[in-house]
């Protein structure tokens, strides 16, 4: 299951993931990301990961395919906040943070989800590096 959440900031796509994720769930997330990218030069992602059990094979292929299309577009992503108490998620985000250096990634414990949302909702800097501008 993937549920889109209100974020409080137009440039942030927020979601909660848990249980079984299928291709339709993943497509909803992709559509929300692409919609945000149409109206904002840089976007941020907020993800709460509950008790995710598995992803269908079709969802996995769609995720992989979409991820590959985004490699050349990584400059469009500003921040990613992942909220989870799962240790393996924290390790995965740490690795991704080293691989995808154009986007700042952080993990937060479930008890700190409000802090995560405040952090990820900060507007990206404009092209001159000024914080808070939305070109």
The tens-digit pLDDT sequence of the chain (135 residues) is: 999 999 999 999 999 998 888 899 989 999 999 999 999 999 999 999 887 777 887 887 877 787 777 877 888 999 999 999 887 777 677 776 666 666 788 999 999 999 999 999 999 987 545 555 443
In which element (H, E) is residue 20 found? strand 12-21
Q: Are 82 and 105 in contact (CB under 8 A)?
A: yes
Q: How far apart are CA 77 and CA 97, in angstroms?
A: 12
Is 127 within a domain? no
In the chain, how many domains are there? Answer: 1
3-state SS assignment for residue 79: strand
- Which pLDDT score is estimated for 6? 94
Classify strands 104-108 and 43-55 as parallel, antiparallel or unpaired.
unpaired
- Which pLDDT score is estimated for 131? 55
Q: Are 41 and 4 in contact (CB under 8 A)?
A: no
Is 130 within a domain? no
Is 25 within a domain? yes
- Which pLDDT score is estimated for 100? 63
Give the total residue count for the chain: 135
Q: By residue range, what is the domain housing residue 110?
A: 2-121
Supply 50's token pair. Answer: 């509950």
């Amino acid at each position: 299951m993937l549920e889109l959440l209100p974020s409080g900031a137009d440039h942030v796509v927020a979601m909660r993931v848990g249980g079984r994720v299928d291709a339709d769930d993943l497509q909803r997330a992709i559509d929300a990301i692409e919609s945000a990218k149409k109206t904002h030069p840089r976007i941020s992602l907020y993800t709460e990961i509950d008790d995710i059990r598995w992803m269908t094979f079709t969802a996995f292929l769609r995720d992989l395919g979409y991820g590959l299309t985004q490699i050349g577009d990584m400059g469009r992503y500003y921040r990613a906040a992942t909220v989870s108490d799962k240790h393996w998620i924290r390790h995965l985000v740490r690795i991704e943070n080293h691989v995808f250096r154009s986007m700042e990634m952080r993990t937060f414990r479930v008890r700190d989800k409000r802090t995560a949302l405040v952090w990820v909702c900060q507007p990206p800097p404009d092209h001159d590096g000024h914080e808070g501008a939305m070109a």
